[in-house]
Structure 1
Amino acid sequence: MKPLDPRLLRRARHARRYVLLTAGLGAVTAALVVVQALLLAHALAPLVTREADVADVVPAVAGLTAVVVARTLVVALQERWAHRAATRAVAELREQVVRHGVALVASRQDADGTGAAVTLATRGLEALEPYFVRYLPQLLLAATVTPAALAVVLGLDWVAAVTIAVTLPLVPLFMWLVGVMTQGHAERRLAAMTRLGHQVLDLLAGLPTLRALGRERGPADRVRALGDAHRRATMGTLRVAFLSGMVLELLTTLSVALVAVGVGFRLVYGQLDLTTALAVLVLAPEVYLPLRQVGAHFHASTDGVAAATSAFELLERPLPRRGTAAAPDLRRAVVRFERVGVAAPGRATTAPHDLDLVVVPGEVLALAGPNGAGKSTAVAVLLGLVPPTAGRVLVEDDGRSVPLEDLEPATWWRQVAWTPQRPVLEPGTLRDAVGAAVSPERLEAAARLTGLDAVVAAAPGGWSTRVGQGGAGLSLGQRQRVALTRALVGDQPLVVLDEPTAHLDAVSEETVLDAVARLRSEGRTVVLVAHRPALLAAADRVVHVHARVEPPLGVGGAA
């Protein structure tokens, strides 16, 4: 990432405002620094040489006090805006990363996008705050205070100005040398944190299976090793940041000492008056200070800079094209799959492969096939969540055929009710999860049909029972009943049921069959993903889905 990456200004609207404000405050700070040095020199020099009494320098002291107060207010204002801008800019980037990462995963373009997006959106981008609060203000001060102070020194004493001009480039040179080493430490730390995040997410996702097999403690050593790698990378970054700060402090101290020695000799030999000498001595550290702070704070914010760079790389990955045409009415439109295939990411597998099917309005269509054949992926293609890598999906209405990818997703999804294998419910009440605007009569009838009425009767608050994030508080089978009831009370012409009986017993399976019969009687189109014979027998038509596994290179005659 560059010192001020244009991508940050494009992606974060609050960052643009903050940069403009900080640039203005930097110009004000530069003026205050120069005025403070001149007032201090004019207040002290007459007293030291006994050319004036204390009463004579009161105006200069009052002005100096006002300048110090003004400079304090400017710093406080900048700090306040820095924290606010950092919080809002990080929130903007976090939202963009999450949205883009989810879209990449949904389109099967990035199998690891979930872990990367989670790491960046949580721990990664949080480290960007030091960049906003500390580094960026000092960078803008270096562009304003340093040239202004050096110009004033040049007008006061050209010898001191030459000394500063010769030693000043050493500061960015050493910053660059240390920065090259620090960048590698920061990138390794982010990589270690990303690996740790992936491992923990995989562990949490597979924890029920590991517990069932008695292997829940197996990955502990691997997680511990990744945690140690993250700790070592973090400590390495901190060590380099500390050493770089010490190097810059030593360099600027020696540079100011050279200026002070030169000013002292010329002051002794009468080549410089005390007022000018004091002003130069006060301004010399102010010339080096912004650059020194830039180096120190930059190395302290390298974790955030590395995370921002990774976030920009993620955001720059192209998404599949989104259509703009309004979707036709699915109560009369026909959806046609023509030799559709979807390549599984990271594997030499196409699932489904060469799938041909027609979804006719008002019928119940079942997709059958072995596990891994691509039935759920075919449903995702129908929903417009996954683009096919081979073949095409056409929507036909009134003699007009439009590719599904050309349709505006919102107008398509508005006509589809989807019940996945693991329904996810938003926090709220049971009534909210099914549909707050549904009439009580229709709600009770649908609940009786799906067996949700028994769940509601057993709940402590009835329909007002609170449901947690993702449906916490309900079993997986109960969540499926909620999702099935929500599909029944809706008016979407197309209902997609992905393994609706996967987590139900044989008795509860009858409720799903009754729900499918109700949907058929209402003239709604139903697409089922099913394994059980009873559910397949309830369909008007069954389409078998197949997968194709490419042989490894060198097998089956391949070169």
Structure 2
Amino acid sequence: MRKKTNPVQNFLKEKKEPARRFIGASVFLSCISGALIIVGAWVLAGIVYDAAFQKVAFPDLWPHITTLIFLYVARGLLNAVADYLAYCGASKVKQSVRSDIVQSIIAKGPMGLPDDKSGSILNAYVDGVEALQGYYMLSLPARITATIIPLAIFFFIFPLDLISGLVLIVTAPLIPVFMIWIGRGAERLSQKQWRRMTFMGGRFLDVIQGLAEIKLFNAGKREGETIRRLTESFRHDTMAVLRVAFLSSLALEFFATVSIAMIAVLIGFRLLWGEIEFRDGF
């Protein structure tokens, strides 16, 4: 049985080459930042434990507080550099894709391009290429990082508390499952919106090019009403896509909250029963 290939995914994977080093460096720095989250949480737990239960004086806590501040500052710097590298990578991809479009137009020549596709080509060159920014700058690095950092958290939690680790293993997979399920619906709607936006771009460019004929035949009011109707329909469909996107965010937040709540309740009872140290539970 032949495996179905997604042409969009194939295109995105193929065009990733100019940004590979930038995205790799961005992911590496993001993973270090994620590791600092774990270290910072451990240091913070130690500060709270020493202050609340060991009655350690504030001057003795100051080195740990300084370490915590340093960790948060380092995280901020790492995230800023990672975002900048991802931005540079996305810019390289956009530059490469726009260059490919121009080279393709030059290769075909004026006679090889259909007149009714000029608006679609312009829309792809401007808006279509610009839409790649979000994927290569945000989505792709976040997808890789979201695979690595949870594994690091699992490896850190399991030696400290096996029960909490098992709860995470049960609840954490619910997040990507629903992310994929809802994301596919959003993908279909987004592709539909893109086709409609391409059609609208072509239609609007045709109107601009034919202004003299429209004025000659006194069809300006009719064309204006047509554009208004298309724009209103596009606005309604855009809101439908946004509803699905917000539903996706709500579902992810819900399952993340359920996972955290289950662990928090278990840790609370086990602290009450004396089965776990406060520092480990924190």
Q: Is TM (by shorter chain) over 0.5?
A: yes
Structure-2 separation of matches of 1:174 and 1:77: 31
Q: Which has the higher helix share?
A: 2
Of 262-271 and 13-22, the range deviating more from structure 2: 13-22
- Report deviation, 1:143: 2.0
In structure 2, the gaps of 5 or more residues are: none
- Report deviation, 1:145: 1.2
Deviations 1:452-484 (A, max 9, x none): xxxxxxxxxxxxxxxxxxxxxxxxxxxxxxxxx
Q: Which residue of 1 aligns with 2:103?
A: 99
Residue 200, structure 1, aligned to residue 204, structure 2 = yes
Structure 2 counterpart of 1:193, which letter?
Answer: M
Say if 1:26 and 1:140, in contact at 8 Å, map to a contact too: no
Say if 1:102 and 1:114, in contact at 8 Å, map to a contact too: no
> Do the aligned partners of residues 28 and 193 (structure 1) sit closer, same or farther apart at CA in structure 2, a change above 3 Å counting?
same
From 88, 104, 116, give the equivalent of 2:92: 88
Say if 2:30 and 2:79, in contact at 8 Å, map to a contact too: no
Structure 2 counterpart of 1:37, which letter?
Answer: A
- Report deviation, 1:267: 1.1
From 20, 24, 30, give the equivalent of 2:24: 20
For residue 217 of structure 1, give the secondary structure of its aligned residue in structure 2. Answer: helix
Higher relative contact order (CA 8 A, sep 6+): 2
From 177, 183, 187, give the equivalent of 1:183: 187
Deviations 1:163-192 (A, max 9, x none): 001001100111112112111210121111
After the TM superposition, which residues 328-477 of structure 1 pair with which residues of structure 2 at under 5 Å, given as runs? none
From 223, 245, 248, give the equivalent of 1:244: 248
After the TM superposition, which residues 129-278 of structure 1 pair with which residues of structure 2 at under 5 Å, given as runs? 129-278=133-282
For residue 214 of structure 1, give the secondary structure of its aligned residue in structure 2. Answer: coil
Structure 1 counterpart of 2:263, which letter?
Answer: V
- Report deviation, 1:20: 1.2
Say if 2:23 and 2:89, in contact at 8 Å, map to a contact too: no
- Report deviation, 1:87: 3.1
Q: Which residue of 1 aligns with 2:60?
A: 56
Structure-1 separation of matches of 2:117 and 2:108: 7
Structure-2 separation of matches of 1:244 and 1:197: 29
TM-score by length of 2: 0.88
- Report deviation, 1:212: 2.7
- Report deviation, 1:101: 4.7
Q: Which has the higher strand share?
A: 1
Structure-2 separation of matches of 1:118 and 1:209: 22
Deviations 1:72-95 (A, max 9, x none): 101111222233333332232223
- Report deviation, 1:271: 0.9
- Report deviation, 1:162: 0.3
Say if 1:101 and 1:113, in contact at 8 Å, map to a contact too: no
From 66, 71, 91, give the equivalent of 2:75: 71
Structure-2 separation of matches of 1:109 and 1:146: 49
Structure 2 counterpart of 1:177, which letter?
Answer: W
> Do the aligned partners of residues 146 and 129 (structure 1) sit closer, same or farther apart at CA in structure 2, a change above 3 Å counting?
same
Structure-1 separation of matches of 2:208 and 2:106: 19
Structure 1 counterpart of 2:60, which letter?
Answer: D
Identity of aligned residues (%): 27
Q: Which residue of 1 aligns with 2:44?
A: 40
Structure 1 counterpart of 2:261, which letter?
Answer: A
Say if 2:23 and 2:85, in contact at 8 Å, map to a contact too: no
Say if 2:30 and 2:145, in contact at 8 Å, map to a contact too: yes
Structure-2 separation of matches of 1:184 and 1:79: 28
> Do the aligned partners of residues 46 and 267 (structure 1) sit closer, same or farther apart at CA in structure 2, a change above 3 Å counting?
same
Structure-2 separation of matches of 1:105 and 1:223: 30
Structure-2 separation of matches of 1:163 and 1:107: 64
After the TM superposition, which residues 533-544 of structure 1 pair with which residues of structure 2 at under 5 Å, given as runs? none
After the TM superposition, which residues 103-122 of structure 1 pair with which residues of structure 2 at under 5 Å, given as runs? 103-104=107-108, 106=110, 108=112, 113-122=117-126
Deviations 1:483-515 (A, max 9, x none): xxxxxxxxxxxxxxxxxxxxxxxxxxxxxxxxx
Structure-2 separation of matches of 1:105 and 1:256: 59
TM-score by length of 1: 0.46
In structure 1, the gaps of 5 or more residues are: 279-559
> Do the aligned partners of residues 40 and 18 (structure 1) sit closer, same or farther apart at CA in structure 2, a change above 3 Å counting?
same
Structure-1 separation of matches of 2:163 and 2:189: 41
Provide the alpha-carbon RMSD of the alignment: 2.4
